[in-house]
Amino acid sequence: MKRSIVLVAIAAAFGLTACTSTPTPEQNAAPVTQPPSTTAPSTSVVTEVVTTTVTNPPAPQAVVNVDSRLGYGALKLGMTLEEARGTGETNLTWQGADDGPCLSDSKITISKQRGVVAITLPVEAKTSKGIGVGSTFADVKNLYPGAHEYRGGWTAAVDANSYYVFFSITRSEDYHELTETISGIKLVANGADCGPLWI
């Protein structure tokens, strides 16, 4: 009986030891060490976009002298003979000391003293008010209230320094009928010193 009690006691002690002293695999394993953190410290990146407007300066332009004198096309009242020849519109030239005070061709009349004093408008040209070859003197009278008869036709002021002469080849003996048609127009400078035949 004593022997069985001792066995039971030994068995009980052994079982208790078995329950409490058996190590778990985790306890037997070498301790696991975590590598130190390699996460870089957080940095904030600021991106700034700068927009600049680049404008190219305009290329230098050639200076163009605008001739504000009254005229037709390249020809202007008051031009010297050299200026008029420079336009390529006339070949007039002074021949010598015996030349008269004026020269004339189918486009201009030029005075030695005053330069270009009359410009003949081309057949297709019209005044700023629409008078051209084929218009009548009645048209001139209606559009230029101050117009009046003048030698071979009618004349009408353009500005304080010039006037138009409207010619007709169908003129009457004593006066010009309003129904007569215009056959030519000249732009003439006031005070032109060339005689009527030149104008």
Go through the domains of the chain in sequence order and give each one's CATH number. Answer: 71-189 (2.60.460)
For residue 197, give both structure tokens: 């035949």
Q: Would you say residue 78 has pLDDT above 90?
A: yes
Give CA separation, 21 vs 13, 74, 137, 166, in Å. 12, 124, 141, 139
> pTM of whole model > 0.85?
no
Q: Would you say residue 89 has pLDDT above 80?
A: yes
Instruction: Identify which has the larger pLDDT, 179 or 118.
Output: 118
Mean pLDDT of the chain: 77
